[in-house]
Amino acid sequence: MKYRSAFDIIGPVMIGPSSSHTAGAARIGRVARTLFGHQPKRAEIYLYGSFAKTYKGHGTDVAIVGGILDFDTFDERIPSSLTLAEQAGMEVQFTVEEAVTDHPNTVRIKLFDDEKEMELVGISIGGGTIEIIELNSFALKLSGEHPAILVVHNDQFGVISNVTKILAQHEINIGHMEVSRKEKGKMALMVIEVDQKIDQSLMDDIAELTNVTQVIKMVD
């Protein structure tokens, strides 16, 4: 396990017995909800390792679904999230996977509605700390702890420098940034965690850039 501070060891304010299996799981679910943009009609949840073995006893199932319903870790509705999801018309399916993953607390979440779908892989590191390590088959590293911008773009010369130039114009400091692509010259993804609040004007300026196809704002 790796921790960023003593507060990660103490753990967050939460509903549930485990910071890794409950609070971390809820945060992964909530990041998925944020990136999807709204409540999905269907959620497929694939559990690996320790998550797969103890998900009912430690409340991982209700925590993930609570996060997808946009509940925070301390929301008292989390224990009832499966019932609330059904009442809200959201279909939920859990699958226990036997495959061995790099981290024991791993979950793959697939969200669907009539128009789109999204797939995300997250890990719960400990103390409620998480990382999103895959989004729609793109490898990435997203903590969910800081304001972040995800930029989907064509893998062409100058796109990255144009995005960072706009960030500088808005006096935005980059805390972490990485770029991944599926194939040279094809679709690519920028993940940029920043230190300041992200204004809509910044999003609009990036969205207007040539070869940028989508801009997503994520704030925990």
Low-confidence ranges of the chain (pLDDT < 50): 1-14, 17, 220
- Say what the pLDDT of residue 8 is: 40
Alpha-carbon distance 116 to 200, whole Å?
23
Task: Say how many C-beta atoms besides its own lie within 10 A of residue 48's C-beta.
Answer: 23
Q: Kindly tell me the burial class for residue 18, based on how many C-beta atoms sit within 10 Å of its own C-beta (0-12, 13-18, 19 or more).
A: buried
- Say what the pLDDT of residue 20 is: 58
- Say what the pLDDT of residue 141 is: 84
All structural domains of the chain with their residue ranges: 6-142, 148-218
Alpha-carbon distance 194 to 175, whole Å?
5
- Say what the pLDDT of residue 152 is: 92
- Say what the pLDDT of residue 107 is: 95
CATH number among 3.50.50.60, 2.160.10.10, 1.20.120.640, 3.30.1330.90, domain 6-142: 3.30.1330.90
Phi, psi of 189 (to 5 degrees): -135, 130
Is the backbone of residue 53 left (phi > 0), alpha (psi -120 to 50) or beta?
alpha
β-partners of residue 138 are 135
Query: Checking DSSP bridges between strand 212-218 and strand 187-194, what pairing results, if any?
Result: unpaired
- Say what the pLDDT of residue 185 is: 87
Tokens of 112: 């669907």
Tokens of 185: 């010259």
Strands (E), the chain: 42-48, 91-96, 105-112, 117-126, 129-135, 138-142, 148-154, 174-181, 187-194, 212-218
148-218 shares the fold of 6-142: no
**What residues contact residue 159 under an 8 Å CB cut-off, 6+ apart?**
153, 188, 209, 210, 211, 212
- Say what the pLDDT of residue 35 is: 87
CATH of domain 148-218: 3.30.70.260
The continuous run of DSSP H or E covering 82 comes out as helix 81-87
Is the backbone of residue 211 left (phi > 0), alpha (psi -120 to 50) or beta?
left
